[in-house]
Structure 1
Amino acid sequence: MSAGRVRKEIDDALLAFVDRQRPGVLEISGDLAPLLSALDALLAGGKRLRPAFCYWGWRAAGGEDIEASRGIAAAAASLELLQASALIHDDVMDASDTRRGQPSVHRRFEAAHREQGWRGAAGSFGEGAAILLGDLCLAWSAEMFDASGLDAESLRRGRRVFDVMRTEVICGQYLDMLESARATGRVEAALTVVEYKSAKYTIERPLHMGAELAGGDPRVVAGLRAYGLPLGIAFQLRDDVLGVFGDPAETGKPAGDDLREGKRTVLIAFALERATPAQADLIERRLGDPGLDSAGVDELRAVIEETGALTACEKLIDQYTDQARAALDAAPVAPDARSALVDLAVAATARKV
């Protein structure tokens, strides 16, 4: 089964679910149409990594091909609605202007408020609308999972992981906010955020959920989790590097946007640990400045490189990626699943700046 075919089945299941929900929402009021349009725009993009890892966790544990068991496509695709919820809320908390190359949801509704000349603060309206759409996506993710068509026992096994995953990502998001507020600059604290906000949620738990849905042998489940967690950490570390040094055409966000948002990533923690007093002062003064221009971005990038933080982060990506590959080599998974998981590991970590 090709990656393109898996992607199409997941996309079809996701869009079919949203289309089934559409009439009920619009029956409440036609004024809700912009919410659905914003969701449609957001769901049109994305790599579908979480559903893909869920599906291949299913296959690795003995689950049927996606064309023989359409239920797994819907169950896996429900993770994309969970991801939409997380992205929408994350953009509000980070005051991000863009997502996937277009205005973030709260900016979209803020602009609509201004264009219509409505009363009140446009920014507050935009944030409120985004929070509600994120909540709706969270609710729909559970509804789509439960209505996937898989048997009750499979859903019971998978739902345990699904519930833990939702708890972990919310806790990870809070820890991210806390670290930004405390500004400890510690690599250990930043790595804890990476583990719970991203690594488990992006790769380990989707694999775990897929394997549990298939009723996988505990040895398979353990092997997949041992592969998924370090790969998830490597994935997020790569994302952090791209957030500072990445091409906007690939990231979908302006160059250096993570610096304007003041994200306390592992990359920044490495820089602060290794910085001279003057370099540390510059980082603390410029990091989180929403008006940071291209010259300011270049200045911060130079400090990050001069301190050796970029090199240290790249080495850590390699270490975690090697750990993941070794775990996959030792895991008792089906050959076709192993091959797909190797490819996904490359897709998750080999993105270039």
Structure 2
Amino acid sequence: MDTGAGLPDIAVGFDGWRAEVRTRVLDEVAGFLRGVRTDGLRSAAVEDVLRQYAVGGKCLRSGFMYLGWLCGAEPDDAALRAAASLELLHAFALLQDDVMDDAALRRGAPAAHIRLSEGYGHDGVESAVRFGASAATLLGDMCLVWAERMLRESGVDAAALARVWPGYDEMRIELAVGQYADLTNDVRDRPALEEVLAIARAKSGNYTVARPLELGAAMAGCAEETLMMLSRYGTRIGEAFQLRDDLLGVFGSAAVTGKPEDSDLGQHRATTVVVVALESADPATRRELSELASRPALDQAAITRCRDLIGASGAPERVEAMIADRVDEARSALRACSLPSGRRAALDQMALLCTARQM
């Protein structure tokens, strides 16, 4: 087994370990993409999109999968390569999400379907838009296939991979079901908070934290006690992550989120923040917010007013408390487990990192 000796010791310094893992993950993904066949696709636009979506992220999912591995095994290059494959799965999810949402930005740059439509001059603007969306969807399909191939060819032995596949398949279906549910998740339908939280868990929370941790731990052959603890921790931190994302979706700047500042409100998305605001607001505030949210389209003035009403409702403070409660529960689960101190400390720091006010 390759010991991955180049990785910093988690116990010595989390920040250095985290930075090194991210660098190595992105190097692995970039190296894999250089070796795949993309006959007929080699163009500056496609290469730029792949860099933007697959080699430009924070590597949360791959980081959590590798941490899951470390909860039952020693540092290993093949395991890190397997974890890195989740960046390609995430690229697939982002490409699909941006097409479905008709998003304008991703990671501070034009979204893939917009970039791919540029220069397509046949039959006018409508044809170019359709081409861009179709091309982005197909590129996402390729990333989905590449992700599985990179995992399969990571160098992790067959017995360990056999423990991964059931959870891997379940995660991908859960992600698709969550995305499907999100298509119908409209604030004008007045969904209940628990319904919105369930969609958030399926679409983002579990897929970001709990499932990657479980995959890595299963790959390492962790004991059932460790698997259960990681599942509890991952579920709570995944929920907190999505709650933070919902707050940023309403109040965050494009410089922080890499997405348009009006994306959630402008798309009538029933996020936890909006639903909590409608539940918590006084009658006058609730009526005005409901009226604004029911409009077919919201201009910038209406979005600004929505933000003011949501702030006045007390929803941001309530959601902050929900985040803090979930982080506390996850950290309590960590303190009760028998993991080596370095692994436990890394999970503790990851919990704080991915639920911070600004990432």
Normalised by the length of structure 2, the TM-score is: 0.90
Q: Is the 8 A contact 1:95 1:261 kept in 2?
A: no
- 2:78 is matched by which residue type in structure 1? G
- 2:57 is matched by which residue type in structure 1? G
- Residue 29 (1) aligns with residue 40 (2): yes
Shift of 1:315: 0.9
Q: Is the 8 A contact 2:191 2:270 kept in 1?
A: yes
Q: Is the 8 A contact 2:274 2:310 kept in 1?
A: yes
Q: Distance in 1 between matches of 2:117 and 2:94?
A: 17
Q: Distance in 1 between matches of 2:252 and 2:187?
A: 25
Match of 2:80 among 63, 73, 84: 73
Q: Is the 8 A contact 2:59 2:87 kept in 1?
A: yes
User: Which is worse superposed, 277-286 or 32-41?
Assistant: 277-286
- What per-residue deviation string (whole Å, max 9, x for no partner) do you get for residues 5-51 of structure 1? 11122111111111111xx21xx325666323311222232110000
- 2:343 is matched by which residue type in structure 1? A
For 1:98, the equivalent position in structure 2 comes to: 105
Q: Is the 8 A contact 1:259 1:289 kept in 2?
A: no
Change over 3 Å in CA distance of 1:317–1:153 after alignment to 2? same
- Residue 57 (1) aligns with residue 68 (2): yes
Match of 2:57 among 36, 39, 46: 46
Q: Is the 8 A contact 1:157 1:213 kept in 2?
A: yes
Q: Distance in 2 between matches of 1:257 and 1:317?
A: 22
- 1:105 is matched by which residue type in structure 2? A
For 2:5, the equivalent position in structure 1 comes to: none
For 1:192, the equivalent position in structure 2 comes to: 198
- What per-residue deviation string (whole Å, max 9, x for no partner) do you get for residues 69-112 of structure 1? 21112110111111111111111111110000001111112233
Hey, which bits of structure 1, 4+ residues long, moved more than 3 A?
A: 30-34, 116-120, 275-291
Q: Distance in 2 between matches of 1:325 and 1:109?
A: 43
Shift of 1:199: 1.3
For 2:12, the equivalent position in structure 1 comes to: none
Normalised by the length of structure 1, the TM-score is: 0.91
Shift of 1:283: 3.2
Q: Distance in 2 between matches of 1:180 and 1:102?
A: 26
Partner of 2:195, secondary structure, is: helix
Which ranges of structure 1 fall in alignment gaps of 5 or more residues? none
Shift of 1:332: 2.2
Q: Is the 8 A contact 2:26 2:55 kept in 1?
A: no
- What per-residue deviation string (whole Å, max 9, x for no partner) do you get for residues 302-322 of structure 1? 111111211111111111111
Q: Counterparts of 1:135-146 in structure 2 under 5 Å?
A: 135-146=141-152
Percent identical pairs in the alignment equals: 38
Which structure features the higher share of helix residues? 1
- 1:267 is matched by which residue type in structure 2? V
- Residue 107 (1) aligns with residue 114 (2): yes
- 2:338 is matched by which residue type in structure 1? P
Change over 3 Å in CA distance of 1:323–1:30 after alignment to 2? closer
Shift of 1:276: 4.7
User: Which is worse superposed, 278-287 or 211-220?
Assistant: 278-287
- 2:70 is matched by which residue type in structure 1? R
Match of 2:32 among 6, 13, 17: 17
For 1:121, the equivalent position in structure 2 comes to: 127
User: Which is worse superposed, 254-263 or 296-305?
Assistant: 254-263
User: Which is worse superposed, 338-347 or 269-278?
Assistant: 269-278
Q: Is the 8 A contact 1:238 1:351 kept in 2?
A: yes
Q: Distance in 1 between matches of 2:143 and 2:188?
A: 30
Once superposed, what is the RMSD of the aligned Cα atoms? 2.0
- 1:18 is matched by which residue type in structure 2? L
Q: Is the 8 A contact 2:289 2:306 kept in 1?
A: yes
Partner of 2:118, secondary structure, is: helix
Q: Distance in 2 between matches of 1:39 and 1:281?
A: 44
Partner of 1:349, secondary structure, is: coil
Change over 3 Å in CA distance of 1:342–1:276 after alignment to 2? same
For 1:85, the equivalent position in structure 2 comes to: 92
Shift of 1:292: 2.5
For 1:147, the equivalent position in structure 2 comes to: 153
For 2:240, the equivalent position in structure 1 comes to: 234
- What per-residue deviation string (whole Å, max 9, x for no partner) do you get for residues 119-147 of structure 1? 56222111111111111111111111101
For 2:20, the equivalent position in structure 1 comes to: 5
Q: Is the 8 A contact 1:185 1:273 kept in 2?
A: no
User: Which is worse superposed, 220-229 or 281-290?
Assistant: 281-290
For 1:266, the equivalent position in structure 2 comes to: 272
For 1:283, the equivalent position in structure 2 comes to: 289
Q: Aligned pairs, how many?
A: 342
For 1:252, the equivalent position in structure 2 comes to: 258
Shift of 1:277: 5.3
Shift of 1:59: 0.5
Q: Distance in 1 between matches of 2:60 and 2:146?
A: 19
Which ranges of structure 2 fall in alignment gaps of 5 or more residues? 1-7, 9-16
Q: Distance in 1 between matches of 2:297 and 2:258?
A: 18
Shift of 1:242: 0.7
Shift of 1:117: 4.6
Shift of 1:182: 6.9
Q: Distance in 2 between matches of 1:94 and 1:17?
A: 29
Change over 3 Å in CA distance of 1:290–1:148 after alignment to 2? farther
Q: Is the 8 A contact 1:186 1:269 kept in 2?
A: yes
